[in-house]
Structure 1
Amino acid sequence: MNQDLRTYLVIDDSLVSERHNVHLELGRVEKSNSNPLFVEEFFGDPPKRWEARYDNLYPNVVYDQNKGSFKLWYNAFIRAGQSEETPLDKRPHNAYHGGKTEDGVMYASSEDGLTWVKPDLGLIEFDGSTANNIVMTTGTHGAHGTGVLEDLLDPDASRRFKALFKNPVSRRMEVAFSADGLQWSESVPWAEYSAVGDTHNNAIRDATGRYVAVTRGWTGDEVDNGIRTAMRTESLDFVNWTDPEVIMQGRGLHDQIYSMPIFQIGPTYLGLPAIFHKGDPEADDWDTVDTELAWSQDSIDWNRIAEGEPFIPRGEGKYPNGAYDCGCVYAAAPVLVGDTHYLYYGGSNGQHNNFREGNLSLATIPRNRFAGYVAGGVDGQLTTTPLIWGVGGVTINAIVGAGGVIRAAVIDEIGSELEGFGFEDCEPISQDSLESPLLWQQNTAQLAGRSLSLKFEFREATIYDFTGPFDLADH
C-alpha cells in the first residue's frame, strides 16, 4: 500500500467539503530589492537597437534544478515606430500614437535568477548584424505573443522546447520546436482551428500528459467592438489542437482578461490572469494592468480568488516618475527554487496604451502559499473530501500567529473521529512551517486502504496545503 506523497492546495474547492469560520485570503508576495532586474536598452550605452519597446514582455522562465540556473524567453518589439523616434526625456511631452511594430523573441540566462545575461547568439540578423540575443521574429517565424515550454517528457530531443504563438502574417496559430531553445524549426500551423491569439499564448504539459494552452478571444463580432477573453485549447502532440473555448471573461471594458499564464500543483491548476482596465477614463487605474490569481479543478472552469485584488501589486505613482511597475504587470508562470516560488513578471512604468519603459522584475512567495484559509480568534474548521490513505506521514503548510494553534482529526464517512486520531489525540501545531507533521497517538499506517477525511480545527492561523500518501476518493 505504499504510495507517493502528494500535495493538495486547500484553495481547490473540489478538495474541501466543509468550511466554518474561515475565509480565503491571498498570500503576500515579496518584490526583489534587485528590481528591475533588467530594462529596455534601445537607448542604452551601448544601445541594443532591437529592444525598441518591451511592451508586455510576456516572460517565459525555465529553472534547471540540477544546474541551479535560469533560462528566459521574452517578447519585445524590435521595431516600434514612435518609441524608437522619441528619446526618454521627450516622451512625457508627446502624445503616444504607437506606429508600425515588429515582434521578436529574445533569450537571456542567469546563474542566480537576479543577474541576467543577454548573449550575442549570432542567429538572427538585425540591421546587418547577428550580434544580438534574438531567437525568433515575425519575419523569420511569424512569432507574436510567444510562449515557450520545456518538455522533458518528449522522447524526441529535437522537440524538447516548444513555442506557441499567433502568426500575424498567416493569421494562424502556429508552433515551433527546438532542441536547445535557441535554434528553432520552421513554424508549423495548427492543423485545424485558430484563435485571435494577440496575447501571451502559453502552454503546459499537465499531469495527464496532454498539452493545455491558453490563448485569447474577443466577445462580439469584431475585435474593436468586444472585450478580451481567455480561451483554452488542448493537444496530444502540440500540433493538432482543439477548437479554443472561452474559460474566463471579465466584467466589462474595465475588467478584461488580457492574458493568463497557467501552471499546475498537484491536481489543481492555477492561473495568473492579467486584468486590463480600459472602461472608465476617470478611474485611477484606467489603462493599467493588474495580475490576479485564479484556480481550476480541470483547467476549464476557473475561479478568480479575491477578484479585484492584485496578487502582484503594481507600484506607486504614474508615468514618468512612478515606480518601475506602476503601470502594468504581466506575470510568467512561477518556477520553484528550493522552497520559494519565483514569480518573474514584465513590469512597466506607464499606461498600457502610452509611452512606457518595460523591465523584467521578480516577486517571490514561499512554496504553495498562493492563497490559504484563515481563521481568526474564533475556532475555524476545514474538512477535506474523502481521501484514500496509503502508508506515509502527513504534513501541512501553515502559518500560525501569536496564540494560534492547529489540530486535526481523521474522520469517517459519517463525520466521526477515529479512535486514536481525534483532535485530542493530535499533537498541536503552534508554529509557522512549510511542512508541519500531523502526529496522533496512533500510527497512520493502520489507515491504509481506507476512505477517510482530514478535519482541521484552527485559530489565528492560515492553512495552505496538506501533503500525504493520499489518492482522491472521487477522482
Structure 2
Amino acid sequence: MNRLFVADLSRLLAGTGLLAFVVLLSQNTAANESHSQRGHSLLLDDRIVKRVENAQLTLGHVTKHPANPLMVEDRPWEKRFDNLYANVLFDRDVGHYRCWYGPFIVDHSARSKSQQDRQTPYRPPSDRQSGLCYAISKDGLVWEKPLLGLVEYKGSKENNIIARGPHGVGVFRDPHSSSPDHLFKQFFKLDEISVAFSADGLHWSDYVDCPEIGARGDTHNNSFWAPTLSKYVGITREKNAEFGRLVARTESDDFIHWSPAEVVLHGNDHNLQTYAMPTFYHGGVYLGLLMIHDQQQDRVWTELAWSPDTKQWHRICPGVPLIPNSDREGDYDWGCVYAAATPVIREDEIRIYYGGSDGLHFGWRCGSLNLATLRPDGFAGYTQVSEQKPAIVTTTPIRTTGRLLALNADVSPSGFVEVAAIDAAGNKIAQCRLTKSTTGEMSVLDVPTDAGMYRLRFEFSNATVYSFRLRERTVRR
C-alpha cells in the first residue's frame, strides 16, 4: 500500500487492487481535545470513535520479509540469541540503521546440535552471562557486526560486544535530552534495574542503579519519553503466583530517579502470561507490542495493545497475534516471535523488527533477527462485519479551524468509502464517495464555513479504515 498525502495528488487512487485514499476538507478541520494534538489519529483509539455499526476492529496484516532471517548466531560469542531483545532505529545523523541486541554470550549453543540432540532438555550453565552487542545496516536488511574493540571476550576485543552482564537492555535515542552526553539511554537489569547514558550509542557511562523501581526486570526492559506526560516511562516486569509474568510501569522526570514499579497489564490466567511489552508513541496513543508466553505450548507470539496514558492498557484482539508464528515446526520463527523495541516508521511502510527462534522458549533453539512490515498506520483498523450492509464508523466531534484531512484506508476493487461531515442535528452537510473507479481525481469534501462542530462518518464496504491525519493546507500559486 502507498501512503497518500495532499501534496501528492497524482498518486490519489493510483494502482490496482487495494487502494489508499485522501479526502480533502475544503474549509479544513482540526481535532478537539479528544483527538491527537498532532493532527494524527488512529481509529483504534476509542476516544476518537463515538459509534460503530456493522464494523469491528481488527489487526492489520503484516508481511514477513522474504529475506528473513536477516541476522543469525554466527559469531563465537553469540551462543544463544534467546529472545534477542533487539532495539532497532534509523539514525539520521549517521545515515544508517543501528541495532543493539542482547544474546547470551556465555551459554550452550544449539547451532551444531542435530534434531535428535535437541530432544534432550536444555539447561543453562551456572555461569550463564548476558551481553549487549551492536550491528549496523545501510538498508535495514543486510546487517554487519563491526569489530568495536571495546570489550574482551576470550582474550580478544575483536568483537561487536558493547557490554557484558546487563540483561534485557532497552536502548533508545532521546531527542528530548538537553545533554549531548545523554542522547542515548539504556534501561536494563543488572543486580537491579539500572540506567546508563551515551553520546554515540557505543561508549557508555557507568551504570546508575535505581533500586527504588523494585521490579524483577528479567525481560526486555524498555523506556521512552512520553510526550503527553512530559516524563520518562519505563516498562519492565513483575511476577506473582496468580498470573505469572506481569507488565509493570515506572516513571521519572530525569531518567535517574524513578517511581516504584506498578503492574499495569497481565494475562487472563497463568497459562498465557504477558512476557514483555516494548512501548512507543504513535498517532496520539501509546502502542505496546505485547509478547504472550503460552505456558502449555512453550511458545511466544506478539500481540498489540494501546493506551491513552501508559497506565491503562487495552489489548486489541486478545489471543490473535499481530506477528504470527510460522506453522512449520523448526522454521526460523516457529517457536518464538519477540518484537524489537520501537518500529521504524517510514513514509511507505512500518517496519517491525523481531527476534525469532526455531525452537521452544525453554528448549534448544537458534535465534535470528527478522522483519515484518505493515502499511502506513496499519496496526489495526475497522472492517465490515456483514456483507449485507455497509459498515459505519462515526467519530467524536471535530471543529473547523483551517486544515486538510487525509484518510488512510484499504479498499478492494469492489468496495468504497464514503466520508461525510455530520452536524449536531445529524444532518449530512458534506460528503465524498471514493471508489476504485475514481482514479486520478481530487475529491473535495466541501464543509460550509459556518459548520462549527461536526462529526466525521466513514461508511464503507469491502474496505478497512485505519486513521486520519490533519494536515496544513498547501496554497497553490
Structure 1 match to 2:224: 204
Give me the whole-angstrom Cα distance separating, in 2, the residues matched to 1:120 and 1:258. 32
**Equivalences for 1:79-228 in 2 at 5 Å?**
79-80=106-107, 82-83=108-109, 87-89=112-114, 91-100=117-126, 101-138=128-165, 143-168=166-191, 172-190=192-210, 192-208=212-228, 209-220=230-241, 227-228=244-245
Q: What SS does the corresponding residue of 2:354 show, helix, strand or coil?
A: strand
Amino acid at match of 1:63: F
Give me the whole-angstrom Cα distance separating, in 2, the residues matched to 1:113 and 1:10. 29
Q: Is the 8 A contact 1:395 1:437 kept in 2?
A: no
Which deviations, in whole Å up to 9, do the C-alpha atoms of 1:382-410 show, x marking residues without a partner? 11112233212111100112321111222
In the TM superposition, residue 175 of structure 1 has moved relative to its aligned partner by 0.2
Structure 1 match to 2:70: 37
Structure 1 match to 2:10: none
Using a 3 Å threshold, how does the CA distance of structure 1 residues 256 and 158 change in structure 2: closer, same or farther?
same
Using a 3 Å threshold, how does the CA distance of structure 1 residues 237 and 317 change in structure 2: closer, same or farther?
same
Using a 3 Å threshold, how does the CA distance of structure 1 residues 277 and 266 change in structure 2: closer, same or farther?
same
Structure 2 match to 1:44: none
Using a 3 Å threshold, how does the CA distance of structure 1 residues 88 and 134 change in structure 2: closer, same or farther?
same
Structure 2 match to 1:357: 366
Structure 2 match to 1:247: 264
Q: What SS does the corresponding residue of 2:117 show, helix, strand or coil?
A: helix
* 1:27 aligned onto 2:47: no
Using a 3 Å threshold, how does the CA distance of structure 1 residues 34 and 24 change in structure 2: closer, same or farther?
same
Amino acid at match of 2:434: I
Q: Post-superposition, which runs of at least 4 consecutive aligned residues in structure 1 deviate over 4 A? A: 1-5, 65-68, 435-438
Among candidates 342, 350, 356, match of residue 347 of structure 1: 356
Greater Cα offset, 334-343 or 158-167:
334-343
Give me the whole-angstrom Cα distance separating, in 1, the residues matched to 2:328 and 2:118. 14
Using a 3 Å threshold, how does the CA distance of structure 1 residues 136 and 431 change in structure 2: closer, same or farther?
farther
Among candidates 332, 340, 343, match of residue 324 of structure 1: 332
Q: What SS does the corresponding residue of 2:102 show, helix, strand or coil?
A: strand
Q: How large is the RMSD of aligned CA atoms in angstroms?
A: 2.4
Among candidates 455, 458, 466, match of residue 456 of structure 1: 458
Q: Is the 8 A contact 1:412 1:451 kept in 2?
A: yes
Give me the whole-angstrom Cα distance separating, in 1, the residues matched to 2:133 and 2:393. 46
Unmatched 5+ residue regions in structure 2? Answer: 1-27, 31-36, 473-477
In the TM superposition, residue 371 of structure 1 has moved relative to its aligned partner by 0.9
Which deviations, in whole Å up to 9, do the C-alpha atoms of 1:39-69 show, x marking residues without a partner? 112xxxxxx2211111110110111346652
Give me the whole-angstrom Cα distance separating, in 2, the residues matched to 1:414 and 1:309. 39
Amino acid at match of 1:301: Q
In the TM superposition, residue 95 of structure 1 has moved relative to its aligned partner by 2.3
Which deviations, in whole Å up to 9, do the C-alpha atoms of 1:291-332 show, x marking residues without a partner? 1111112211111111111110111232xxx21000001101
What percent of counterpart residues are identical? 40
Q: Is the 8 A contact 2:38 2:284 kept in 1?
A: no
Q: What SS does the corresponding residue of 1:158 show, helix, strand or coil?
A: helix
Among candidates 407, 432, 435, match of residue 430 of structure 1: 435
Q: Is the 8 A contact 1:207 1:267 kept in 2?
A: no
Among candidates 90, 112, 135, match of residue 63 of structure 1: 90
Structure 2 match to 1:374: 383
In the TM superposition, residue 442 of structure 1 has moved relative to its aligned partner by 4.2
Amino acid at match of 1:452: Y
Using a 3 Å threshold, how does the CA distance of structure 1 residues 156 and 5 change in structure 2: closer, same or farther?
closer
Q: What SS does the corresponding residue of 1:367 show, helix, strand or coil?
A: coil
**Pairs aligned (count):** 432
In the TM superposition, residue 188 of structure 1 has moved relative to its aligned partner by 0.5
Q: What SS does the corresponding residue of 1:272 show, helix, strand or coil?
A: strand
Using a 3 Å threshold, how does the CA distance of structure 1 residues 234 and 257 change in structure 2: closer, same or farther?
same
Give me the whole-angstrom Cα distance separating, in 1, the residues matched to 2:29 and 2:176. 25
Q: Is the 8 A contact 1:83 1:98 kept in 2?
A: no
Q: Is the 8 A contact 1:18 1:383 kept in 2?
A: yes
Using a 3 Å threshold, how does the CA distance of structure 1 residues 300 and 431 change in structure 2: closer, same or farther?
farther
Amino acid at match of 1:393: L
Which deviations, in whole Å up to 9, do the C-alpha atoms of 1:66-116 show, x marking residues without a partner? 665200000110101x338x8323632532122231010101000000000
Amino acid at match of 2:200: D
Amino acid at match of 2:129: E
Which deviations, in whole Å up to 9, do the C-alpha atoms of 1:230-251 show, x marking residues without a partner? 0111111111112211111102
* 1:276 aligned onto 2:263: no
Q: Is the 8 A contact 1:400 1:460 kept in 2?
A: yes
* 1:263 aligned onto 2:280: yes
In the TM superposition, residue 126 of structure 1 has moved relative to its aligned partner by 1.0
Q: Is the 8 A contact 2:420 2:432 kept in 1?
A: no
Structure 2 match to 1:45: none
Q: Is the 8 A contact 2:243 2:267 kept in 1?
A: no
Among candidates 53, 57, 79, match of residue 80 of structure 2: 53
Amino acid at match of 2:277: M
Which deviations, in whole Å up to 9, do the C-alpha atoms of 1:265-286 show, x marking residues without a partner? 12211111110011x3xxxxx0
Structure 1 match to 2:467: 465
Structure 2 match to 1:441: 446
Structure 2 match to 1:18: 51
Give me the whole-angstrom Cα distance separating, in 2, the residues matched to 1:387 and 1:27. 26
Give me the whole-angstrom Cα distance separating, in 1, the residues matched to 2:399 and 2:234. 31
TM-score (norm 2): 0.86
